[in-house]
Structures are given as C-alpha cells and as structure tokens.
Structure 1
Amino acid sequence: MRVLVPEWPEFRALRVEGVEFAFYGPEGLPAGEADGLVLWLTPPDLRDQLLGWPGLRWVLTLTAGIDHVAGRLPEGVTLYNAHRLHDRAVAVHTLAGMLAAERGLHRFRDRQREGRWQPTLDLGGLDGARVVIWGYGHIGKILEDLLRPFGAQVTGIRSRTPAAERDAALAEAVWVVLLLPSTPETRGIVDADVLARLKPGAWLSNQGRGDLIETGALLAALDSGHLGGAVLDVTDPEPLPEGHPLWEQPNVIITPHIASATRDLIQRGADYTRAFLTEMQAGREPEGRVKAGQRY
C-alpha cells in the first residue's frame, strides 16, 4: 500500500510493515499513484491537488472537522477523521480560557503593560457556576470531566436539542461553551435573540467555528454590557483582520485557532497515523470513518 504523508521529520521516521510512504510538501510532490492520503495542515491549493491524486481509495484528515474536505472528495474515496487526536487539547484550552477569564488574567495583563499595580476583588471562580456546553460530543464530555473538580454544574445540549429546553438551559448559564461544527443549521445560531436570552454578565466561549456567532450581535452585546465577555479561539471573519473592533474589546480573549495545538502535536499526529495504518494493514477498520452524507 502506497500512502502520501506530510514531509515532516516525524512522518519520515514512520515505519509500518507493508506500507510505502511518499512525502508531499510545498517544495514538491512525489510521482506515481497512491492508495491513501494523510492530509494535514496544507494550503487550499495543495489540498485540492492531493484530494484529486490518481488511485486514491481513502483519505485520513488529521483534523476533527471535515468541512475543508467534504464535497471535494472524488466519488468512491473513503474519508476518515481524527477527532481523538485533538479532543483533550481542545478541552484543556477551553478550561484554561474560562479560568483565565474568571481570574481576570486578561485585565491584569493589560495593567502590566501599563505598569499599573491595581488589586481588585472583582474576581470569580467556577464553584457552583452553571456551564452550558453547546455541542456535547467527545470534547464536551472531556471538558465536563475537567470542570468537575472546580465545582461547576454542567448541562450539555446539542444542535438538535428542542428550542424550549435549550433556551431554559441558556437562561441559567454563567458560561456558554460552543463546540458545534459549522453546518447550514448551525451558522449564525448565536444571534442577537440568543444573546439577549443569556443571563446578564454571562460569558461566551467559542472553540467550535467562528461563524456560529453573528459577530455584529456579539459586539453589540459586549458594548451594552449585557454579555460579560467572550473567549474566542475562532472568529468570523478568520483570520481576524487588523483593526477589527473585537481586538479592542477589554473583556474578549482571542487566540488564533490554536485550541488543539501542543508542542508535540506533529509527533502525536505521526503516532496516530502509524496506529491507523497498522489497523488497516491488519485487516481491521480504523476508527474515524465518516459516513456518507456526514458533514462533521
């Protein structure tokens, strides 16, 4: 079996019996057909070129989301994703953002730049906090486990949760964590009406996709003071351009879509690939197969 993989050293070190690795990257592409493709961190033009590679029977995208691949695969090519590679890192990043916001670390950082020593009692914690995880899947369940020692009260809801049940949960939340994918049903799901239903002073954390939130409505809720703040790893637009008003919001913490990033991410991706190919070579179905018509 011949498999296209990224040219990074961690992938060049891979050895799986019965597998020939061919390496791709911005500097060049291998010749010849390939049975499989491990797709990761490729620019759109290279991604599209790889997805049309002759001979492909399957593609493993080392991402949780599949929106960058869905609709671009040739007919008959099987798609796998790798949510397990990222789940815990995203959950940890989400918790870190919540704790940073509760303890006012963003405000103290601003004062540090200004050289101001300004103590305050206006600081919180998560003990007894009602947290709604909107998009209660793999990451949401890990996040709930991480929140438990802090005394948070977690409610998990999904995109298909009945509106009345969803709105009742949101009305009691002091934190709403978005972990939903971007689909036609979820784009703009957090609009002015939803934000108005939140408890005054509630915080929003978006670790799903930027277009879940209507940015104009978010800015209005922040400016009015109704929304306490937001922790955003994803934005709309993305990347967030210089001069965008979100940058100037004092109670917004922004990270550049790196929730799953860790120092060992590339090595973990290579290890995941080795385990995936070992399963396949043993005649077993690897985890992560995307069903026909599945959008995330």
Structure 2
Amino acid sequence: MRVLVPDRPEFREVRVENTELSFYSREQAPPENAEGLVLWFASPELRRELLGRPGLRWVLTLTAGIEHVAGDLPPGVTLYNAHRLHDRAVAVHTAAGMLAAARALHRFRDAGREGRWATTMDLGTLDGKRVVIWGYGHIGRLLEELLTPFGARVTGIRSRTPEAERDAALSEADWVVLLLPSTPETKGLVNAEVLARLKPGAWISNQGRGNLIDTGALLDGLNSGHLGGAVLDVTDPEPLPEGHPLWAQENVIITPHIASTTADLVARGAEYTRAFLSEMAAGREPEGRVEAGQAY
C-alpha cells in the first residue's frame, strides 16, 4: 500500500509493515499516485491536486473539521478525520479561557500594561454557573469532565436538539460554549435573535468555527452591555484584521485559532498516522470514518 504523507521529520520516522510512504511538502508532491492520503500542512491548491489523484481510495485528514476536504472529495473515496488528536487540547483551552475570564485575568493584564495596581475587578468563579455546550460531542464531554470539579452545571445540546429545549437552555446559561462545525445550517446560527435570548451578563465562548456567530450582532451585544464578554479562538473574519472592533473590546479574549495546538502536536500526529496505517495494513477499519452527511 502506497500512502502520501506530509514531509516532516516526525513522519519520516513512521514505519508500517507492507506500507510505502511518499512525502509531499506544502506546495509540492511526488508524481506517483497512491491508494491513501494523509492530509496535513498542504496548501489549498496542492490539497485539491492530491485529492484528484487517480486510484485514491481513502483520505485521513489530521484535523477534526472536514469542511476543507469534503467539497473536493471524489465519489467513492472514504474520508477519515482525527478528532481524537485534538479533542483534549481544545477542551483544556476552552476551560482555561473560561477560568481566565471568571477571574478577570485579561482585565488585570490590561491594567498592568497601563502601570495600574488594580484590585477592584469584578471577580468570580465557575461554581454554580450554568454552562451550555452547543455541539456536545467528543470535546464537549471532555470539557464537562474538566468543568465539573469547578462546580459548573453543564447542559449539552446538539444541532438536532428540539428548538424549545435549546432555547430554554440558552435562556438560563451563564456561559454558552460553541463547538459546532461550519456547515450551511450552522453559519450565522448565533445571531441577534439568539443573543437576545441570553440572560444579561452571559458569556460566549467559541472554539468551533468563526462563522457560527454573526460578528455584528456579537459586537452589538457587547457594546450594549447585554453580554458579559466573549472568549474567541475563532472569528469571522479570520484572521481578524488589525483595527477590527473586536480587538478593542475590554471583555473579549482572543486567541488565533490555536485551541488544538500543543508543542508535541506534529509528533502526536505522526504517531496517530502510524497507528491508523497499522490498522489499515492489518485489514481492520480505523476509527474516525466520516459517514455521508456527517459534518464533524
């Protein structure tokens, strides 16, 4: 079995019986075709070229989301994602942002930049806070495990949760955490109407995709004081340009879409690939198969 994989030192060390690896860089790939493709670090142009290679039978994208792949996937090619590679880091990042916001660490940071010894911040904890996780899948369950010892009361909702049940949960939430993928159905899902249903002072945390939230509506909610604040690892637009009004919001914590990043991510990705290919070579079905119509 020949497989195309990223040309990184960690992947050069991968060895799997009866499997031959060919390596591509961000912009270039070897001319030979392959049965399998492990997709990571490829430019959009090269990604489309690799996905169109004759004889391709399966693709493993070493990401959780698949929206960058699904549109170019040829008929009959099986797609796998690698959500387990990223789940715990995203859950930890989300919990860390919530705790930082509750303790107003961002406000102390800003005061420190101004040389102020500020001791009168509105400080809190997560004890007794109602947290709605919108997109309650692998990451959501891990996040609930992390938040429970801090006294948070977690409710998980999904895209298919009945509207009345969803709205009831949102109306009681102190925190709404978004872990949904980007699909035609979820784009702009959190709009002015949804934000108005939240109780005053509620916070939004988005580690899903930036276009889940109507940015204009979010800014209106922040500027009016209806929302307590937001923790955003993803934004719309992304990257967030210099001078964008979100940068100036006192109660917004922004990170540049790095929730799943860890120092050992590439090494873990190579090990994930080795285990995946070992299953393939042994004739077993690896985890992560994306079924038709599945978004995440």
Would the TM-score normalized by the shorter structure come out above 0.5? yes
Q: How does 1:175-186 map to 2 (within 5 A)?
A: 175-186=175-186
RMSD across aligned positions (CA)? 1.0
Secondary structure of 1:274 counterpart: helix
Partner of 2:245: 245
Partner of 2:84: 84
Is the 8 Å Cα contact of residues 89 and 260 (structure 1) preserved in structure 2? yes
Partner of 1:198: 198
Secondary structure of 1:68 counterpart: helix
**Amino acid in the other structure paired with 1:87:** D
Secondary structure of 1:22 counterpart: strand
Q: Give 1:295 shift.
A: 2.9
Q: In terms of mean alpha carbon deviation, does 180-189 or 269-278 score higher?
A: 180-189
CA distance in 2, matches of 1:98, 1:121: 16
Q: In terms of mean alpha carbon deviation, does 18-27 or 188-197 score higher?
A: 18-27
CA distance in 2, matches of 1:111, 1:101: 15
**Amino acid in the other structure paired with 1:135:** G
**Amino acid in the other structure paired with 1:248:** A
Partner of 1:65: 65
Unaligned runs of 5+ residues in structure 2 are none
Q: Give 1:27 shift.
A: 5.7
Deviations along 1:9-32, one digit per CA (max 9) or x if unpaired, are 000010111111100003632121
Q: Does 1:215 align with 2:218?
A: no
Secondary structure of 2:141 counterpart: helix
Partner of 1:287: 287
TM-score of the aligned structures, taking structure 2 as reference length: 0.98
- Aligned-pair identity in percent equals 78
TM-score of the aligned structures, taking structure 1 as reference length: 0.98
Secondary structure of 1:74 counterpart: coil
Partner of 1:4: 4
Is the 8 Å Cα contact of residues 4 and 36 (structure 2) preserved in structure 1? yes
Deviations along 1:29-48, one digit per CA (max 9) or x if unpaired, are 21211111000122211211
Secondary structure of 1:144 counterpart: helix
Unaligned runs of 5+ residues in structure 1 are none
Alignment length, in residue pairs?
296
Residues 1:27 and 1:196: Cα distance change in structure 2 (over 3 Å): closer
Deviations along 1:25-79, one digit per CA (max 9) or x if unpaired, are 0363212111110001222112111111232111000011110001201121111
Is the 8 Å Cα contact of residues 70 and 295 (structure 1) preserved in structure 2? no
Partner of 1:49: 49
Secondary structure of 1:176 counterpart: strand
Q: Does 1:173 align with 2:173?
A: yes
CA distance in 1, matches of 2:209, 2:14: 32
